[in-house]
Amino acid sequence: MKNNAVLQVGPLMPTVQEAITEDYRAVRLPDSTDERTEFLRQHGESFEVAVTSGKVGVGSEVMRSLPNLRAVINFGVGYDTTDVAQAASRGITVSNTPDVLNDCVADTAMALYLDLLRGISSADRFVRRGDWLSKGNFPLATKASGKKVGILGLGRIGRVIARRLEGFDCEISYHSRNQVEGVSYRYAATPRELAAGCDVFIVAAAGGPGSARLVDAAVIDAIGPEGYLINIARGSVVDEDALVAALLAGRLAGAGLDVFAEEPKVPEDLLALENVVLLPHLGSGTHETRAAMAELTLANLRSFVTTGAVLTEVRA
């Protein structure tokens, strides 16, 4: 490949940024729209590979401005910010970082699960405010073991969540685009059917056009006033306005959210609610997992540059 053939799109983990700059002389796409347009007009033709993260991705417009692009190397398992349809039609390879983050994202789902049902964050605030001294006992919570849990999306991460929930004696059901072979969990034909049959509804489905607002007002109402919603996938999978309205009206018992529709914006109305646990999209955010994701990102880049194929290709 030519010099400067690697384009960095958006911020990356320092170790990844250093490696691609030193080893491939990668050039960073400017962040401001004006500078970016001019940069792409002048240099767009020279890039064959783009390295990005799931947060930023290579969207339709940037991809169109890179006429010689051959690969998008994505840090993160989710690739909904990259125009995979355009990539497929132009024969552009897209890679992501699957599997290495399954444990941490599933652990985050479990942390939200226990926190939400037992009121852990709320109880922590209770102690810090001095309410234990002034008000006495913390209100009773909901038992977490043995619940009926519905998982939307029984992919790599969904399956690890299910395995962890088995340890809590939960009764697991799921809905996925296709029924999964070799699992004993009950299959629900629609998200609404899944919601109607569970106490806790966990969103683990990939983001993107195919799953946008799959969890709509009707699904949220089917989870019901005694039910909880947890989302560790993408904010786009849930109709956020409908979720906020249901929480405010008491039509849902609570929600545990690691992801939002317009990150890092969190709906103002949620901030005052005690039955909601809010996380800043930290699903995979541990030293160990981020290092493994960085390694796989760089291995995909190395493999593409030397062989023309990536190790973990996205097949949308």
Catalytically active residues, by annotation? 234, 263, 281
For the CB of residue 135, give the shortest distance to ligand 8YV in the complex, in Å.
Answer: 38
Rounded CA-CA distance 16/98 in Å is: 17
Interface with ligand 8YV: number of residues (CB under 6 A)? 10
Beta strands 49-53 and 6-9 are parallel
Least distance between ligand 8YV and beta carbon 272 (Å): 27
Euclidean distance between CA atoms 185 and 183, whole angstroms? 6
Q: Is 54 in the site for ligand 8YV (CB under 6 A)?
A: yes
Q: Does 156 bind ligand 8YV (CB under 6 A)?
A: no
- In angstroms, rounded to a whole number, what is the distance separating the alpha carbons of residues 51 and 152? 30
In the complex, least distance from residue 82 CB atom to ligand 8YV, rounded to whole angstroms = 11
> Which letter, b or e, does each residue of 266-289 get, where b requires 16 or more Cβ atoms within 10 Å of its Cβ?
bbeebeeeebbbbbebebbeeeeb
Residue 122 or 284: which CB sits closer to ligand 8YV?
Answer: 284
Supply the minimum distance, in Å, between the C-beta of residue 271 and ligand 8YV. Answer: 22
Closest-CA residue to 246 (of 231, 226, 260): 226
Instruction: For ligand 8YV, give the closer residue by CB, 101 or 144.
Output: 101
Q: Tell me: does residue 284 bind ligand 8YV (CB under 6 A).
A: yes
Q: Report strand pairing: 186-187 vs 171-175.
A: parallel
Residue 158 touching ligand 8YV (CB under 6 A): no
Any contact of residue 53 with ligand 8YV (CB under 6 A)?
yes
List the one residue from 36, 55, 64, 118 that touches ligand 8YV (CB under 6 A).
55
Stretch that binds ligand 8YV, among 39-47, 52-60, 269-277, 301-309 (CB under 6 A): 52-60
Which residue in the set 50, 69, 70, 76 belongs to the binding site for ligand 8YV (CB under 6 A)?
Answer: 76
Span interacting with ligand 8YV, options 75-83, 175-183, 192-200, 240-248, rule CB under 6 A = 75-83
Scanning 70-78, 112-120, 139-147, 266-274 for contacts with ligand 8YV by CB under 6 A, the matching segment is 70-78
Tokens linked to 161: 């969540």
75: contact with ligand 8YV by CB under 6 A? yes
Long-range contacts of 223-227 (CB under 8 A, 24+ apart): 223/195, 223/198, 223/252, 224/195, 224/196, 224/251, 224/252, 225/250, 225/251, 225/252, 225/253, 226/199, 226/253, 227/195, 227/198, 227/199, 227/200, 227/201, 227/252, 227/253
**C-beta of residue 144 within 8 angstroms of C-beta of residue 118:** yes
Which residues sit at the interface with ligand 8YV, rule CB under 6 A?
53-55, 75-78, 101, 283-284
